[in-house]
Amino acid sequence: MPPTDAGKSRLAYIDWMRGLACLLMFQTHCYDAWLGPAARQSRFFMYSQLGGTFPAPLFLFLAGISFALVTDKLWQKGTPTGQVARTTIVRGAEIFGYGLLFRVQEFAISWGWAPKSDLARVDILNTIGMSMMLMGVMCWVAGAVAVVGRRAAPGTGEGVRRSTIEGGGPSMTGPAPSRIVVVIAACAVALAISLLTPLLWTTWRPRFLPWPLESYVNGVHNLGTPQAWLFPVFPWTAFAFAGLAVGFILQAPWSRARTTRAFVLLGIGGVALIELSRWLDALPRQIYPVYDYWHTSPEFFLIRVGMLLVILTASYAWCRWGLAQWGFSPLIQLGQASLLVYWVHIEFVYGRVSILPKHAQSILGASLGLLTIFLAMLALAYVRTHIKGWMRGKDAMQALRSSSAVRS
């Protein structure tokens, strides 16, 4: 990409980060499924699993940013806040439905040995869908608060019916809240989710709920205690709300006019959050009766958000000045079809059609399998994103031939 092409980089960094999340997900799943007992005791496997802590936060964080971009665009067009909320909530419900469908598919493929409880497992697609619905509700509430506030303000009159977004156009019959209000609300929700997580996993567990419902709160599944390998609302949706705040910050007029400076400041903010997390964790006293840094603590949430902001800044820089846009970018290609490659690769890694025997490979053997999965999913993503263009080209050629035949 030429260095002056800043517009494309604003979207390319999102696809690039999604592609990075896919790559980290591939390596986590491949090594977890295929490495033998001896290799699983190695430092290599430990670092592989440590890298596996990033894909889910990345996907959710980027879902929040994308949600902000779409919502802000609709508000700029003057779309009523209620309609924006309905559109985004319906889209979240679709993703949630995909998550349920994915569980049904997995159960059908694993018929005979998969327990029926797998149908109610809270997986990442379920959580992304839930996060989008919750963000839609939050934006609707923020819009309702904006209406009340403008009615209460003296001299507003018709301004309640026709309001102006910061730096944007009017919104009819339900004014859009200002970006700063949405940013503050998103940060508050993310912080609240993070602060409540340790309690909802331990002393405040909603045990009165059936386990399929409680599992969406704390990932208890049917195992009696919350499970760290599931993706419940607490704490995972907090990453989506953090992304929502960042997305609206990036859409502000100041940020759009000073894009590079905005990303640098976000990166610096990320470093600050990392240091704040380390300082809080080092305090001699903790406010929670049960403190689990690596799974439920607000400190771990803060450090991961800080890392996400640093990765965001680095991704933008790579797509703005690096090699990511000079020709073909594998990560951008994967990021453009992340849902499809997530859905398909699971079957070839964990499913009945696994390309290698499970728990029986050396590091080299599993790495070759990982390379195969990566190339296969890259090819699938390429076909997925180009097939419409190929079909249009084919139709155009047929039309041209028909026209030539008529003339002759």
pLDDT for 257-291, tens place per residue? 999 999 999 999 999 999 999 999 998 888 899 98
> 259-270: b or e for each residue (b if 16 or more CB lie within 10 Å)?
beebbeebbebb
State pLDDT tens for residues 304-353: 999 999 999 999 999 988 776 677 889 999 999 999 999 999 999 998 88
Of 72, 9, 7, residue with least CA distance to 321: 9
CA distances from 51 to 6, 47, 98, 150 (A): 30, 6, 26, 47
All residue ranges of the chain with pLDDT < 50 are 1-7, 9, 157-173
Consecutive H or E run containing 194: helix 179-200
Q: Where are the domains of the chain?
A: 26-52+329-392, 54-260
**How many C-beta neighbours within 10 Å does residue 252 have?**
18
pTM above 0.85, yes or no: yes
Consecutive H or E run containing 375: helix 363-407
Of 49, 6, 47, 4, residue with least CA distance to 28: 49
